[in-house]
């Protein structure tokens, strides 16, 4: 399969878009309004390479030939032409006889001459499909637990699972599908046997008591790697009391249980409650970490968003003022970015923003902040960087970034460039972070006013 050019379709105004689309990782097919395929990018040729050349074929026919279930394609073109676009999910056969879940989006797209085309974009849906299957599996597991009258907390730790299986009654078993009766009875029998063995254990022996607290145990306690400590020695023993004191000194919040003076049932209940509480705390911490990560990142580019940048940069500005160290902020704006969206389409514009953000992030220090403030405007906060250092760094970044994005774009009437405004601390009148940002914004405005594609520094 080969890619078509705009010359093949009888006009030339869409040619710049084809070379950029050809470099995108997502498969793209371009068709006329009647559905005849005019162009397939490199990614689409890899997805559909076991077909004959699709140029000139019907878009729906190409998709039907590769789709496991063609039902979603019945009115695809009608919906795409009569509305703002149409999308569906397909299972596409691959060249290795596998099946790839995919999301298809078809939109109307017009070139500069006003000629209308159908733009079909594919996204690999394997990960969302796997997550949906995992959710369905979880639902089935939840149904099974509900039939048994159990919860996941009953089964998450070995002793709890052992006790639950041993206590499973015939009434609960009767609620299960018949094919599960025999295996669950076998598990119940084995669980009762092990529960009896565990109940007969004597934990009162003192032969295993260490005469000093191991250093690796203290390190693990201090690093919060332990849920609890169970002492097998007598608390009347001075050595055991010394061990307790050492543990309390290194980890005051760590629970320590006495296995000698505590009944076995009470000991296992306390351990279970401690493990459940720590597990809930750990799960909550992980959830909040993920929520915070999502809330702080720009969804398209992966760099910090405006809210996160303002929050962290304000804190850094306060530290710079308090300890009197230099600080710099640079605002970047992509010149003529709208031309990219209008000429090459929004997928190309999004890809350009991703390329630009990745380049900025990879070109600065780990201590610097890179953010997308909105649209095509980005910012970099440079810590411990004076005016001369910031000027040198940002000028180099501007020049190389502009050259890089022009390399990946096809020739256009107005080639996108990079304008930058720079402001640094210390400077007179800079009492708040907002003052530093306003100075950088004024410098950026002067760079745009003086012809774009340049950098200006605040006076």
The CATH number covering residue 75 comes to 3.30.450.20
Same domain, 60 and 167: no
Same domain, 391 and 351: yes
- In this structure, of 19-33, 96-110, 269-283, the range with the lowest mean pLDDT score is 269-283
Domain-embedded: residue 299: no
Domain-embedded: residue 210: no
Domain residues for the domain of 13 are: 6-124
Same domain, 178 and 107: no
Same domain, 40 and 118: yes
What share of the chain has pLDDT > 70, as a percent?
70
What local confidence, expressed as pLDDT, does residue 395 receive? 92
Domain-embedded: residue 335: yes
| Nearest CA among 312, 313, 308 for reference residue 295 | 308
Write the CA distances from 145 to 157, 311, 363, integer angstroms. Answer: 16, 45, 52
What local confidence, expressed as pLDDT, does residue 205 receive? 35
The larger pLDDT score, comparing residue 440 to residue 134, is at 440
**Which residue do the tokens 């309004």 mark?**
33
Could you tell me the pTM of the whole model?
Answer: 0.42
Q: CA 88, CA 315: separation in Å to the nearest integer?
A: 45
pLDDT in tens, 13-54: 556 677 777 777 788 888 888 888 888 888 887 776 544 566
Q: What is the number of alpha carbons within 13 Å of residue 290 lying toward its C-beta?
A: 5
pLDDT in tens, 149-176: 555 555 555 556 666 677 777 877 777 7
Same domain, 325 and 439: yes
Same domain, 340 and 423: yes
Q: Write the CATH number for 334.
A: 3.30.70.270
Same domain, 290 and 344: no
Domain-embedded: residue 301: no
Same domain, 61 and 20: yes
Domain-embedded: residue 66: yes
Domain C-terminal end among 164, 199, 234: 199
Confidence band (pLDDT; 50, 70, 90) for 394?
A: very high
- In this structure, of 181-190, 201-210, 224-233, 426-435, the range with the lowest mean pLDDT score is 201-210
- H or E element, residue 443: helix 433-449
What are the residues facing 86 on neighbouring strands?
A: 106
Q: Is the pLDDT of residue 227 over 80?
A: no
What average pLDDT does range 293-319 have in this prediction? 87
Same domain, 65 and 89: yes
Q: Dihedrals φ, ψ of 96, to 5°?
A: -100, 25
Domain-embedded: residue 209: no
| Nearest CA among 327, 340, 337, 357 for reference residue 453 | 337
What are the residues facing 398 on neighbouring strands?
A: none
Same domain, 316 and 407: yes
Same domain, 311 and 450: yes
Same domain, 37 and 107: yes
Total count of domains within the chain: 4
Q: Dihedrals φ, ψ of 346, to 5°?
A: -65, -35
CB 279 within 8 A of CB 156: yes
């Amino acid at each position: 399969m080969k890619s078509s050019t705009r010359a093949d379709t009888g006009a030339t105004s869409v040619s710049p878009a084809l070379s950029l689309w050809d470099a995108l990782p997502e498969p793209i097919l371009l068709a006329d309004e009647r559905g005849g395929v005019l162009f397939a990018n490199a990614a689409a040729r890899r997805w559909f390479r076991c077909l004959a050349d699709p140029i000139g074929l019907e878009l729906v026919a190409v998709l039907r030939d590769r789709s496991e279930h063609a039902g979603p394609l019945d009115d695809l073109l009608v919906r795409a032409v009569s509305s703002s676009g149409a999308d569906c999910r397909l299972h596409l056969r691959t060249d290795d006889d596998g099946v790839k879940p995919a999301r298809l989006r078809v939109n109307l797209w017009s070139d500069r001459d006003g000629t209308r085309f159908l733009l079909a974009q594919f996204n690999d849906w394997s990960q969302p499909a796997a997550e949906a299957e995992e959710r369905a599996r979880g639902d089935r597991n939840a149904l099974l637990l509900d039939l048994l009258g159990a919860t996941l907390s009953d089964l998450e730790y070995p002793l709890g699972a052992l006790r639950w299986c041993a206590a499973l009654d015939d009434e609960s078993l009767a609620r299960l599908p018949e094919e599960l009766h025999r295996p669950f009875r076998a598990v119940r029998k084995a669980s009762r046997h092990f529960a009896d063995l565990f109940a007969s254990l004597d934990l009162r022996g003192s032969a295993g008591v260490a005469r000093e607290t191991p250093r690796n145990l203290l390190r693990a306690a201090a690093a919060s790697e332990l849920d609890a400590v169970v002492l097998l020695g007598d608390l009347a023993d001075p050595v055991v009391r010394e061990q307790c004191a050492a543990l309390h000194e290194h980890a005051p919040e760590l629970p320590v249980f006495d296995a000698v003076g505590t009944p076995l049932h009470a000991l296992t209940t306390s351990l279970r409650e401690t493990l459940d509480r720590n597990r809930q705390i750990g799960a909550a911490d992980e959830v909040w970490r993920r929520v915070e990560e999502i809330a702080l990142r720009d969804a398209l580019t992966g760099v910090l968003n405006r809210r996160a940048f303002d929050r962290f940069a304000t804190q850094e500005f306060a530290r710079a003022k308090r300890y009197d160290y230099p600080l710099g902020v640079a605002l970047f704006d992509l010149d003529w970015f709208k031309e990219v969206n209008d000429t090459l389409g929004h997928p190309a514009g999004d890809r350009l923003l991703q390329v630009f953000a990745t380049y900025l992030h990879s070109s600065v220090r780990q201590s610097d902040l890179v953010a997308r403030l909105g649209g095509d405007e980005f910012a970099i906060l440079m810590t411990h960087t004076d005016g001369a250092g910031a000027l040198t760094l940002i000028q180099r970044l501007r020049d190389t970034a502009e050259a890089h994005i022009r390399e990946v774009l096809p020739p256009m009437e107005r080639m996108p460039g990079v304008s930058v405004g720079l402001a640094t601390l210390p400077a007179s009148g800079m009492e708040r972070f907002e003052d530093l940002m306003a100075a950088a914004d004024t410098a950026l405005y002067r760079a745009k006013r003086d012809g774009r594609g340049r950098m200006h520094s605040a006076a």
